[in-house]
Amino acid sequence: MRKEFVITVAAAAMAAAPVAFAEQAAPVAPAPAAADAVATLQKVCLPVLRGGAVKPAAQSAGFRLEDGGWVLPIAGKQEIDLSPPDHSNPHVCTLTIAADAAEGAAIRNALGNWAASQSPPLKAVAVDAPVPGAAQGWVTSTWSARTPAGVENVVLTQPQSPAAPSKTGQASPPASTLLVSLAPA
């Protein structure tokens, strides 16, 4: 009797909320660009900003050297271009993420979740704030914290709308820019 009651209640609940049960059964995988952006931040940018060598970090994260720059293909025409710290910007690691416009929110959310999970957590300074002086439709999100290694900032600048078609009529993936900086303490 008790088993039948539980089954009946479960069946009624599933019938009343099929969408909720379907969402729980099949978790949504993160967008490839979002997952790769966070992995690059964690595996390449932060270790290099803390004094590690670029080549082994980039290669271990799947980047390859093409035409003098580090590139990580994601899917189709999507890719991440890495500009590691150099003499002119020793405290900045830049990722240019060419991905579908639909992945913009996923990238921002993944970075926000990563920032909140750090120790100490990076706090959101701005989320989807208009970019001063930029064309309309560009926003920036920033997270920051004072860490034992120094002040760490993560800044994401991205378009809010899909890219305009090129001369060939094809829309190219918009490029979001992720800047990771670590100013020594």
Mean of all residue pLDDT scores within the chain: 79
pLDDT at residue 70 above 50?
Answer: yes
**What is the pLDDT, as a whole number, of residue 26?**
42
Model confidence band, residue 23 (pLDDT cutoffs 50, 70, 90): very low
pLDDT at residue 121 above 60?
Answer: yes
Model confidence band, residue 154 (pLDDT cutoffs 50, 70, 90): very high
**Token pair in block for residue 55:** 């080549």
Read off the DSSP letter of residue 41.
Answer: I
Q: How far is CA 169 from the centre of its chain?
A: 28
Kindly report, residue by residue over 25-65, the tens digit of the pLDDT: 444 556 889 999 999 999 999 999 999 999 999 999 999 99
Instruction: Give the start-to-end residue ranges of the domains of the chain.
Output: 31-184
**Token pair in block for residue 26:** 């099949």
pLDDT at residue 16 above 60?
Answer: no
Locate tokens 């590690």: which residue? Answer: 52
Percent over 70 (pLDDT), the chain: 74
Looking at per-residue pLDDT, the higher value among 18 and 73 belongs to: 73
pTM more than 0.85: no
pLDDT at residue 15 above 50?
Answer: no
Please state the rounded mean pLDDT for residues 108-126.
95
**Token pair in block for residue 77:** 């025409």
CA-closest candidate to residue 102, choices 151, 165, 33, 44:
33
Model confidence band, residue 144 (pLDDT cutoffs 50, 70, 90): very high
CA-closest candidate to residue 49, choices 165, 185, 180:
180
CA-closest candidate to residue 45, choices 93, 83, 81, 87:
93
**What is the pLDDT, as a whole number, of residue 77?**
82
